[in-house]
Structure 1
Amino acid sequence: MDNSENSNTDRAEEIKLLANEAFKAHKFSHAVELYTQAIELNPDNAVYWANRAFAHSKLEEYGSAIQDATKAIEIDPGYSKGYYRRGAAYLSMGKFKEALKDFQQVKRIRPNDPDATKKLKECEKAVMKLKFEEAIAVQDHERRSVAESIDYHSIVVGSEYTGARIEGDVVTLDFIKKMMDDFKNQKSLHKRYAFQIVLQAREMLRALPTLVDITVPDGHHFTVCGDVHGQFYDLLNIFELNGLPSDENPYLFNGDFVDRGSFSVEIILTLFAFKCMSPSAIHLARGNHESKSMNKIYGFEGEVKSKLSDTFVELFAEAFCCLPLAHVINEKIFVVHGGLFSVDGVKLSDIRAIDRFCEPPEEGLMCELLWSDPQPNLGRGPSKRGVGLSFGADVTKRFLQENGLELVVRSHEVKDEGYEIEHDSKLITVFSAPNYCDQMGNKGAFLKFKAPEMKPEAISFSAVPHPDVKPMAYANNFLRMFS
């Protein structure tokens, strides 16, 4: 080894230590940059690749994490952490069978490690459960809607119940205020009213087109919020800062209402209740987390079973399949949870024609609307997440031109200030869950538009305290083991 190689190796180690510090401080993007520098100086060190894989996982970039962990394994096939990191990333994507193979490998390399044994057992249990569920699953076209089997009128509300009540069939603002106040004090809503809200919201959503056109009259304003991810107390803060949804103060919540944060039931019942109260006061779009596979892993399913019942798990899944996939405001602004497409020439009419009443597929327009992300480079690239794709400013510009639009607004990614303007100001990301998962230290934001100019004004806000229930408290057992 000559001196320059020696000094590169030493310098790489120094940078790795800085990267580790950044990681400990929850500065995961910075950690990725530093591990990348270390890798450039010494690409044959498996530890750097495995560490970068872990940082990617923290950023929910599971596709990149799998690539890095695979590289670590190629460099050192006996390095158990490479398999461990890759297995954890597969798990986070819901790819249990691939994860199982990696944990079996960890166990082969470290047969006496109790942690490896425990994780392998959990993974085996999940795969068995999955196989069982697949075996008993009814084909979608044969399945009867659970919504049709529920008659909430027949559910009796006893006199001992002191919470919010809906008189008759109409959800009023007074009811919603009382319900939100009860939720704030960690009281629950009677199942009868929860059924009523979800069933009524489902009916309303089901009647909407896949792409919804919104008109904001001159002199009026409109607010767009990004992911709220079960952070109910931060949602209350948005309403404090910006007013409750009403016909004069309309909102669009752009997907990912649930999962991760442990107050997802409170959020979804609140948003659905506003939809019932006034369909034009609140618009709701589907995110990638309004899906069974995500809800199973990231906490919503567990939370619903704990706070409501198993029947509600199915009911919410049906309601989520009715959510529109995109909105166009004043024929200028295209709003979608994830992003744009793997092919050019997609017209708004193609989006309108998507049959959205299903679980999101693994590819195609619907998948890309929910999962894609912008990238700084031109053209298109693979997704960091392992689903969807990354698209550049040229893709954004062409899509807008071909459809006579001016701006893309999307969510789906944590941003330090709660928002970020990219692609020559033609694309804005807005994310409304501050200090995401109680650890990212980011601000949240919402965007305000006033007609006729419809220029976006971003308003950032910080996290507020919440009761001591940790994020992911209801998540899949072994995801908690890895967090």
Structure 2
Amino acid sequence: MTTDAARTEAIALKDKGNKAFKDHDWPSAVDFYSQAIDKYDADPAFYSNRAQANIKLEAYGYAIADASKALELDPNNVKAYWRRAIANTAILDSRAALRDFKYVCKKEPNNKDAKLKLAECEKMVKRIAFLKAIEVGDPPSAFVDLDIDSIQVPDDYDGAKLGDKMTQEFINDMIERFKNGKQLHKKYVYQIIKSVKDIVYDEPTMVEMEVAPKTQLTVCGDVHGQYFDLLEIFRLNGYPSDDHAYLFNGDFVDRGSWSTEIILLLYAFKWLRPKYFFLNRGNHETDDMNRVYGFEGECKAKYNEKVFKLFSESFSALPLATLVGKKYLTLHGGLFSDDKTSLDDIRKLNRHQQRQPGQAGLMMEMLWTDPQTAPGRGPSKRGVGLQFGPDVTKKFCDNNGLEAVIRSHEVRMEGYEVEHNGKCITVFSAPKYCDTTENKGAYINIGPELKLDFHKFDAVPHPDIKPMAYAQNSLMSMM
């Protein structure tokens, strides 16, 4: 095939990719752009377009690589600089983003949006430097000076009252209150966070549970502040009860604009039924992510800064994994950089010594890694963590007597995906993610026989509040 013919075919594939992108089908867009590159690898637009699709898939490491390749082919490609800046912002590398935003402003001095993004990026760099400067090794507990008993709830408060114990009546009232755009009184918020923090702090790093006869467990993936879609799960599948346990596998907050409603409701269920309701920490239950992706801003807007600090401390107390029936290891991200890592290593991990996951180590890998189709391990498409292949998953399951690993952390267009010859299962429970991705949500029901029963569901309408409404800057709105 001549070069001209290959380029013509590649352009046709790029056009299909553009159509898929317009339809919010990001995986298909990436696939078409990749096919175009296979046909003809000298057009910077193919890489730049794929970078944008990868941003939508949160594959920020891939997006940075694609934008950099586009710039190799065309050093003046302003779109590629812009997209690399956005991807670097997403992985919290604000200094790298700053360099690219400066180039965009230099090339397009009248671009008001670029000037705004540059100014916001400069603020982020300064804020990160400030937080690092005031960081202390072992900060005092946010609960130390919290005198909940002294806080008075006014007589005209129009919600249910909460005593020393959580009740189903209070939860029912809370659900309706949140649907109507109302908040809880801050005393009740403090009570819920404190009670759940104490419960989960005493749980092991890897909770081990069985599915008792005549009961079932439902495993849900990321819900990301999509409160009305969470209620749809309960409507379709039933609310938590003593014979219907739930496990939420991380990423309760950020992005969606009802994160406080979701986490307070999940915490309320945990307080009411601590032995039948389970919460694994996700990579978005961390300070760095909450500052950028909206949860900190939402806490401050709806309540106060104290609430965010209390949630932050409670997040660091959450377990990192749940072992279901000795067959399914459920954790947010995935597997490890070392084949010798075992369930005993997770059991022994003292998560209380390290509040935030950092850039390396067992906790980071449990929260951040992703599966890949190729054997072995590879660099992360996110720019954080790593990827693991089917051979890694098989070896881990064989060595630890597991049937499969259940994880979340990634959008799946059908809500779930069974990979690695059935050994790696991804479940994602935020349909129409961020109001832009045309994906379904899913959850998994597991009965006493430990068979997996997959259920898909569609997004439901919600009030007209956009995702990332409480993010501290508009940089994130570009993703």
TM-score (norm 2): 0.97
Structure 2 distance, partners of 1:466, 1:348, is 41
Aligned to 1:86: 84
Instruction: Assess, with a 3 A threshold, how the Cα gap between structure 1 residues 418 and 481 changes in structure 2: closer, same or farther.
Output: closer
Aligned to 1:387: 384
Q: Shift of the alpha carbon at 1:373? A: 1.1
- Greater alpha carbon shift after TM alignment, 349-358 vs 252-261: 349-358
Give SS of 1:424's match: helix
Aligned to 1:156: 152
Aligned to 2:423: 426
- Greater alpha carbon shift after TM alignment, 317-326 vs 245-254: 245-254
Give SS of 2:445's match: strand
Q: Shift of the alpha carbon at 1:140? A: 3.2
> 2:456 corresponds to which letter in structure 1?
S
Q: Shift of the alpha carbon at 1:113? A: 2.6
Deviations 1:244-264 (A, max 9, x none): 112211110000000111100
Aligned to 2:188: 193
* Match runs of 1:430-445 below 5 Å: 430-445=427-442
Checking the alignment, whether the CA contact within 8 Å between 2:117 and 2:475 is kept in structure 1 is no
Checking the alignment, whether the CA contact within 8 Å between 2:432 and 2:438 is kept in structure 1 is yes
* Match runs of 1:37-436 below 5 Å: 37-137=35-135, 139-141=136-138, 143-167=139-163, 169-357=164-352, 358-436=355-433
Give SS of 2:229's match: helix
> 2:392 corresponds to which letter in structure 1?
V
Structure 1 distance, partners of 2:343, 2:336, is 12
Q: Shift of the alpha carbon at 1:153? A: 1.1
Q: Shift of the alpha carbon at 1:133? A: 2.2
Checking the alignment, whether the CA contact within 8 Å between 1:247 and 1:281 is kept in structure 2 is yes
Checking the alignment, whether the CA contact within 8 Å between 1:164 and 1:189 is kept in structure 2 is no
Q: Aligned pair 1:4/2:6, yes or no? A: no
Checking the alignment, whether the CA contact within 8 Å between 2:417 and 2:425 is kept in structure 1 is yes
Match of 1:478 among 469, 474, 477: 474
Q: Shift of the alpha carbon at 1:21? A: 1.4
Checking the alignment, whether the CA contact within 8 Å between 1:164 and 1:182 is kept in structure 2 is no
> 2:154 corresponds to which letter in structure 1?
G
Q: Shift of the alpha carbon at 1:164? A: 2.5
Q: Shift of the alpha carbon at 1:480? A: 4.1
Q: Shift of the alpha carbon at 1:215? A: 1.8
Give SS of 1:327's match: strand
Q: Shift of the alpha carbon at 1:29? A: 0.8
Q: Aligned pair 1:457/2:470, yes or no? A: no
Checking the alignment, whether the CA contact within 8 Å between 2:293 and 2:476 is kept in structure 1 is no
Deviations 1:56-96 (A, max 9, x none): 00000001001111111111112222211111000011111
Q: Shift of the alpha carbon at 1:14? A: 2.1
Give SS of 1:247's match: coil
Give SS of 2:406's match: strand
> 2:100 corresponds to which letter in structure 1?
D
Moved over 3 A (4+): none
- Greater alpha carbon shift after TM alignment, 120-129 vs 251-260: 120-129
Q: Shift of the alpha carbon at 1:350? A: 0.6
Deviations 1:428-477 (A, max 9, x none): 111111111112121111111111x2010001111111111111111231
Structure 2 distance, partners of 1:39, 1:53, is 12
Structure 2 distance, partners of 1:372, 1:161, is 45
Aligned to 1:20: 18
Checking the alignment, whether the CA contact within 8 Å between 1:378 and 1:392 is kept in structure 2 is yes
Give SS of 1:328's match: strand
> 2:55 corresponds to which letter in structure 1?
S
Q: Shift of the alpha carbon at 1:116? A: 2.1
Gaps of 5+ in 2: none
Q: Sequence identity, in percent? A: 50
Q: Shift of the alpha carbon at 1:481? A: 4.5
RMSD: 1.3
Q: Shift of the alpha carbon at 1:290? A: 0.4
Checking the alignment, whether the CA contact within 8 Å between 1:163 and 1:188 is kept in structure 2 is no
Structure 2 distance, partners of 1:481, 1:230, is 16
